[in-house]
């Protein structure tokens, strides 16, 4: 087999490697580092597919390897991040300390991510759009939490301090973490059509909601910085639902 055929798989393995390092960081409570490694894994996850298309090196093993890497980086790692956030702030909540089995709820993210990825591999309906929330989007939502908390504790005079403080507080609230874990996990597997960011052409009428999403996301990033990340994911879900209602 030609060396070029192995390049996409090597990039996929870099995604998996980022996930492995992120697990180590998360268990050491270096949640900011773990979050950054998830974003690095997302970078490699995007470019392994791009490389496969450009090199015409798509393969069945590449598809399976991609899902195996994704379940670690975008499933297991976010679970551990939320688990650590939950346990860091548990002492103030007597009810949750009494029912400490609730601290294991974050691992639903890993379980439902595995189901989502397995379904994606055998579902030929998801070539130009998605059915259910993509695992990278879910991972971005959760991985933004440590970054928001970090910048709230280490202000750098940029972004919205009020919004950042609000988000930092709710991402440290155990009840919010448990409820959102359930909601986001269900969104991974329910068959709600969500648009992808793949462009077949650049005509406005065919890509209106993609353009709206990209423009609003860019503006949010410029004005809100890391605080914008969970909002962008929620915006993506909302615009996808609106698109379906207007069809």
Rg (CA), the chain: 18
In angstroms, rounded to a whole number, what is the distance separating the alpha carbons of residues 48 and 18? 14
Whose CA is closest to 11, among 37, 49, 39, 38?
49
Give me the count of residues in the chain.
247
Summarised one tens digit per residue, pLDDT across range 24-36 is 999 999 999 999 9
What is the CATH number assigned to the segment(s) 3-246? 1.20.120
pLDDT for residue 121? 79
Task: Classify residue 73 by its DSSP letter.
Answer: I
pLDDT of residue 91: 67
Class of residue 222 by CB neighbours under 10 A (exposed 0-12, middle 13-18, buried 19+): exposed
Q: Is 139 within 8 Å of 74 (Cβ atoms)?
A: yes
Structure tokens at 118: 């397995």
Query: pLDDT of the chain along its 247 residues, tens only?
Result: 577 777 888 889 999 999 999 999 999 999 999 999 999 999 998 887 777 777 776 777 878 888 899 999 999 999 999 999 998 877 666 666 667 777 899 999 999 999 999 988 777 766 667 888 999 999 999 999 999 999 888 766 555 578 889 999 999 999 899 999 999 999 999 988 998 887 676 777 778 889 999 999 999 999 888 999 999 999 999 999 998 888 7
Mark 77-90 as b/e (b = at least 16 C-beta within 10 Å).
bbbbbbbbbbeeee
For residue 195, what are the contacts with CB-CB under 8 A and spacing of at least 6? 129, 130, 209, 210, 213, 239, 240, 243
Residue boundaries of the structural domains of the chain: 3-246
Classify burial at 125, counting beta carbons within 10 Å of its beta carbon; exposed 0-12, middle 13-18, buried 19 or more.
Answer: exposed
**What integer pLDDT is reported at residue 217 of this predicted model?**
95
Q: Give exposure, 56-72, as e/b (b: 16+ Cβ within 10 Å).
A: ebeeeebeebbbbbbbb
Q: pTM of the prediction?
A: 0.90
Residue of 96, 93, 119 whose CA lies nearest to 188: 119
């Amino acid at each position: 087999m030609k060396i070029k055929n192995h390049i996409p798989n090597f990039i996929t393995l870099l995604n998996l490697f980022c996930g492995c390092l992120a697990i180590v960081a998360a268990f050491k409570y270096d949640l900011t580092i773990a979050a950054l490694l998830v974003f690095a894994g997302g970078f490699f996850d995007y470019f392994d597919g791009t490389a496969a298309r450009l090199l015409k090196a798509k393969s069945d093993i590449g598809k399976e390897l991609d899902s195996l890497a994704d379940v670690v980086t975008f499933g297991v790692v976010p679970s551990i991040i939320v688990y650590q956030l939950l346990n860091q702030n548990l002492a103030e909540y007597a009810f949750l300390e009494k029912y400490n089995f609730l601290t294991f709820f974050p691992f639903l993210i890993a379980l439902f991510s595995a189901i989502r990825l397995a379904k994606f591999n055998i579902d030929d309906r998801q070539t130009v759009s998605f059915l259910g929330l993509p695992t990278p989007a879910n991972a971005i939502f959760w991985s933004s939490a440590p970054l928001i908390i970090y910048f709230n504790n280490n202000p750098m005079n940029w972004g919205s301090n009020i919004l950042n403080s609000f988000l930092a507080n709710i991402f440290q609230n155990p009840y919010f973490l448990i409820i959102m874990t359930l909601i986001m996990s269900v969104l991974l597997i329910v068959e709600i059509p969500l648009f992808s960011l793949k462009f077949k052409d650049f005509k406005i009428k065919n890509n209106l909601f993609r353009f709206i999403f990209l423009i609003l996301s860019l503006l949010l990033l410029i004005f809100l910085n890391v605080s914008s990340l969970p909002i962008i994911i929620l915006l993506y879900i909302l615009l996808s639902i609106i698109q379906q209602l207007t069809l």
